[in-house]
């Protein structure tokens, strides 16, 4: 907080504020050189590209200061509260944006965080030259992945913060602050492309159907069935951590049901991978030495949290609708798991079983890295909040 009571939304903006206060342009650019930023772009151009149409001319929304062309650039914590009609904010890394603009328009002026305490005007050509002189400062998207990022201007406690924290694993993997609700059509085109590529979602109706599916507690997958069978055959006893208990439960159920060989083999394959993954989870401390996972619900519920703000970013719902989905998913997590470790173990299992059939140990390690960041970072909600 400065002398006038201003609180920087993130550590990034705090460092920018201190550099500007000290009139230290080098330190200011050093922060930006490793930062993701947002620039205004034309929404109609994005829609045309998503529809497979060619777009001529730049999509950047420019301004004029006297006879000079200006381009607004915002760090995440200082995005304007209101989005102009026909505009979305396109996310880029600063070291990508500057050379891209500079190749054709080195005389443009970048206006960083217009209207804020750290508003700064920079000539594109001069910034390009600085980046060339200081290559060690240049950051990439990969550098941001796996870190716990927090927005001081977004919920830090209370039910909404807890609900957002239920999707924190995916936030860490995507270098997004865990507690942000984002904004309407924030990074619109990239989000729509991601939903189409990974979820086959292109319309609001498809998005709503996917949300309903993720929140459906009664929808059983083969993984859910295997976990339920182990509980069923354990009876009043605690389910065994021995992987053979899974296969025995599957075989007993298949005999009773007269299941065809193909269905039996599919369930046995799932049981084998569940057993392996639970062994890794116990080895790495996500489960007790005799612990097992009762339900992988956290996998769907954590993705439902993210699907809420992806819907807002894609224009499929407003902030109120996104928050309703996030709160519902967070409430279900709190009813299902006693703590963050239980939720995290179930999420990791779901991710491995869904996305790691060809490379389970690689997918497991990626999820474990996110878990480790969340349990170690001082700013992590898993250290500052309880799940319930």
- Split at pLDDT 50, 70, 90, the class of 219 is confident
The mean predicted confidence, pLDDT, of the chain is: 95
Q: Are residues 320 and 210 in the same domain?
A: yes
Q: Are residues 132 and 240 in the same domain?
A: no
Q: Does the pLDDT value for residue 1 go beyond 60?
A: no
pLDDT in tens, 148-188: 999 999 999 999 999 999 999 999 999 999 999 888 999 99
Would 238 be classed as within a structural domain? yes
Among 206-210, 216-220, 271-275, whose mean pLDDT is lowest? 216-220
pLDDT in tens, 117-138: 999 999 999 999 999 999 999 9
Which domain, by its residues, includes 228?
Answer: 222-283
- Split at pLDDT 50, 70, 90, the class of 235 is confident
Give the model's pLDDT for residue 327: 98
pLDDT in tens, 315-348: 999 999 999 999 999 999 999 999 999 999 999 9
Would 237 be classed as within a structural domain? yes
Q: Are residues 230 and 351 in the same domain?
A: no
Q: Does the pLDDT value for residue 101 go beyond 80?
A: yes
Q: Are residues 313 and 357 in the same domain?
A: yes
Determine the average pLDDT of the residues in 302-308.
97
Given 233, 256, 283, the domain boundary residue is: 283
- Split at pLDDT 50, 70, 90, the class of 4 is low
Q: Are residues 43 and 130 in the same domain?
A: yes
Q: Are residues 344 and 356 in the same domain?
A: yes
Give the model's pLDDT for residue 2: 64
Would 163 be classed as within a structural domain? yes
Nearest to 97 by CA among 142, 38, 49: 38
Give the model's pLDDT for residue 38: 98
Report the distance separating Cα 36 and Cα 314, nearest Å. Answer: 19
Q: Does the pLDDT value for residue 357 go beyond 60?
A: yes
Q: Are residues 134 and 19 in the same domain?
A: yes
Would 322 be classed as within a structural domain? yes
Task: Calculate what percentage of the chain has a pLDDT beyond 70.
Answer: 99
Please tell me the pTM assigned to this model: 0.93
Determine the average pLDDT of the residues in 247-255.
95
Q: Are residues 307 and 365 in the same domain?
A: yes
Q: Are residues 96 and 212 in the same domain?
A: no
Q: Are residues 193 and 315 in the same domain?
A: yes
Would 288 be classed as within a structural domain? no
Q: Are residues 116 and 193 in the same domain?
A: no
Give the model's pLDDT for residue 69: 95
Helix axes 94-102, 124-133, angle to 10 degrees: 120
Would 150 be classed as within a structural domain? no
Q: Does the pLDDT value for residue 3 go beyond 70?
A: no
Determine the average pLDDT of the residues in 77-100.
95
Q: Are residues 175 and 259 in the same domain?
A: no
Q: Does the pLDDT value for residue 190 go beyond 80?
A: yes
The total number of structural domains that make up the chain: 3
Determine the average pLDDT of the residues in 269-298.
96
Give the model's pLDDT for residue 304: 98
Would 355 be classed as within a structural domain? yes
Would 152 be classed as within a structural domain? no
Given 239, 261, 283, the domain boundary residue is: 283
Determine the average pLDDT of the residues in 363-367.
97
Given 144, 175, 210, the domain boundary residue is: 144
Give the model's pLDDT for residue 197: 97
Q: Does the pLDDT value for residue 8 go beyond 80?
A: yes
């Amino acid at each position: 907080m400065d002398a006038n009571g201003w609180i920087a939304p993130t550590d990034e903006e705090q460092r920018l504020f201190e550099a500007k206060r000290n009139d230290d342009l080098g330190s200011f650019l050093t922060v930006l050189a490793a930062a993701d930023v947002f620039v205004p772009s034309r929404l109609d151009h994005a829609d045309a590209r998503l529809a497979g149409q060619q777009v001529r001319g730049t999509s950047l929304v420019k301004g004029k200061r006297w006879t000079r062309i200006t381009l607004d650039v915002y760090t995440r914590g200082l995005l304007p509260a209101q989005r102009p009609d026909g505009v979305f904010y396109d996310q880029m890394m600063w070291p990508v944006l500057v050379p891209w603009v500079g190749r054709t328009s080195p005389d443009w002026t970048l206006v960083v965080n217009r209207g804020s305490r750290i508003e700064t005007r920079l000539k594109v050509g001069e910034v390009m030259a600085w980046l060339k002189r200081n290559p060690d400062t240049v950051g990439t998207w990969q550098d941001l992945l796996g870190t716990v990022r927090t927005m001081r201007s977004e919920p830090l406690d209370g039910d909404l913060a807890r609900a957002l924290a239920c999707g924190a694993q995916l936030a860490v993997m995507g270098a997004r602050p865990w507690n942000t609700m984002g904004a309407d059509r924030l990074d619109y085109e990239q989000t729509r492309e991601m939903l189409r590529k990974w979820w086959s979602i292109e319309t609001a109706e498809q998005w709503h159907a996917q949300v309903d599916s993720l929140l459906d507690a009664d929808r059983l997958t083969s993984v859910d069935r295997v976990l339920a069978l182990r509980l069923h055959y354990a009876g009043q006893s605690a389910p065994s951590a021995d992987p053979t208990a899974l296969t025995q439960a599957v075989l007993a159920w298949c005999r009773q049901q007269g299941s065809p060989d193909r269905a039996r083999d599919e369930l046995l394959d799932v049981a084998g991978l569940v057993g392996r993954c639970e062994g890794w989870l116990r080895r790495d401390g996500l489960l007790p030495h005799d612990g097992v996972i009762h339900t992988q619900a956290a996998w769907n519920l954590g993705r439902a949290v993210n699907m809420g703000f992806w819907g807002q970013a894609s224009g499929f719902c407003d902030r109120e609708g996104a928050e309703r989905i996030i709160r519902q998913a967070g409430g279900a997590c709190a009813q299902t798991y006693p703590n963050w470790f239980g939720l995290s173990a179930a999420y990791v299992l779901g991710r491995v079983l869904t996305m790691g059939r060809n490379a389970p140990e690689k997918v497991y390690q990626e999820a474990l890295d996110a878990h480790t960041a969340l349990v170690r970072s001082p700013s992590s909600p898993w250290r500052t909040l309880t799940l319930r």
